[in-house]
Amino acid sequence: MKADRFLLGVFVVVAAAAVYQGAGLPSSEWGPRLASLTALASTPAPKPYEPQSFLEAFCEAPSAAVCDGLGATGLEKAESELSEKLNEEALANVARGLGVAVPFSSGKIYADMAMVAHQAGIAPSEADVLFTEELERLLTERLGFSPSQEQAMVSTLRSALTDAVNYQGDVQPDTTDWKALAERASQPVAFLSASEFLRKGGPVKPIKGFCGKSLERYNAFFYQGKTGDRLEAVVLCPGVSLRALAAREQGRYTPDFAKQATYSLLSHELAHPIDARKHPQAYNNWMGCARQAASENSTLPVTPRKLSELSADQWSAETLAMLVEQGKVSREEVAGILAFGSLNYCLMPERKNGTHPDGRFRIDFKGRNPRLRQALGCAPLPPTTLSCGVEGSTL
């Protein structure tokens, strides 16, 4: 194993030297670049994933277990390289379907699509549908992960979320607000793929914003149309499958990656219709605890938007706990959902005027949810650690 790594390191250095020489780089600049490449090549291999030891590490230090133990940075890099290749292939298929052949370049795929659509005399929305459909079809074929499986996941998660809200409603002093919350939680929200969303008249803007211009982002979003537009849906970005495929081709993770990532994203998005910004009264107890935890972690303002994201994360934790309690999902499966479904948070720092709190803090906050900890068999937290259940602080 060590010998392989050394050989790989040598190969990378030789190849890089040739490239830089060809590009006419002054020899004085080779040194630092070669040194950083050598360092990259000799990065130790991440520890193999094992559910039980991951859970132990997660109970102890949630974000460290997710972000440090698995070498997330290297994974992201490898995945983005593969995602570009896959996007090019999907794009070539779409271009063939349109009967137009143009040279495409990665990184501006969406712009190229618009150009193709313009040349072919097709309206942009139709080109958007074609592009997303083609990508989704390609990914479904390669992964064997069908839309009906995703729909089944949504029903499981939705019923667990409704049960979790009802459970909390029973112990809340203010039953009026919690009744409203439980009723809202039980109302169905459409779960749509990106192409179905466009077909139903959903705008392109949120897709580009949340999924990326070439749909490559590992993300999902909850959409609520403005007055007059009744469309309300949770949309899963094709980037989730794209990453799963990339990870699988890397031989790094289990074939369940797409399932785990989907569970994690959907359990958060399905909670947005009942988040703290839409129903602030129901969160009176929780709000103080969450605000304190967030301000201990950052000097940036704790906005209502950030609190709404944290409340959706809390419901995601409560939903996963409920699934374990009801015997619908095993602890090992939840370990996979937390380990692989939270990977994208590792690389999401809090931004000034941003909508989400720091990604690593989000993992820690979720990992300190009392109910999830109990369901996973975690030891109690030290009494000085702030832990916020949906019902409020446990301190």
Residue 262: closest CA among 287, 283, 235:
235
Q: Which is nearer to Zn ion, 117 or 312 (CB)?
A: 312
d(C-alpha 39, C-alpha 346), whole Å: 22
Minimum Å gap between C-beta 186 and Zn ion is: 20
Residue 321: closest CA among 160, 172, 158, 150:
160
Q: Which is nearer to Zn ion, 116 or 293 (CB)?
A: 293
Q: Which is nearer to Zn ion, 309 or 318 (CB)?
A: 309
Minimum Å gap between C-beta 290 and Zn ion is: 14
Minimum Å gap between C-beta 122 and Zn ion is: 33
Number of residues interacting with Zn ion: please give it, by CB under 5 A. 2
Q: Which is nearer to Zn ion, 5 or 277 (CB)?
A: 277
Residue 264: closest CA among 200, 306, 313, 225:
313
Buried/exposed code over 96-115 (b: 16+ C-beta within 10 A; e: otherwise): eebeeeeebeeeebbebbbe
CA angle 391, 221, 319 (to 5 degrees): 35
Residues 6+ apart with CB under 8 A from 192: 200, 202, 233, 234, 235
Q: Which is nearer to Zn ion, 309 or 391 (CB)?
A: 309
Q: Which is nearer to Zn ion, 136 or 269 (CB)?
A: 269
Q: Which is nearer to Zn ion, 131 or 221 (CB)?
A: 221
Identify the H or E element spanning 85.
Answer: helix 72-98
Minimum Å gap between C-beta 394 and Zn ion is: 24
> Helix H segments across 144-283?
147-171, 175-186, 194-199, 204-211, 239-249, 257-269
In the three-class reduction of DSSP (H, G, I as helix; E, B as strand; rest coil), residue 118 is classed as helix
Type of residue found at 363: I
Minimum Å gap between C-beta 235 and Zn ion is: 12
Minimum Å gap between C-beta 271 and Zn ion is: 8
Chain positions 269 to 328 lying near Zn ion, rule: CB under 5 A, are 309, 312
Minimum Å gap between C-beta 49 and Zn ion is: 26
d(C-alpha 33, C-alpha 261), whole Å: 35
Footprint of Zn ion (CB under 5 A):
309, 312
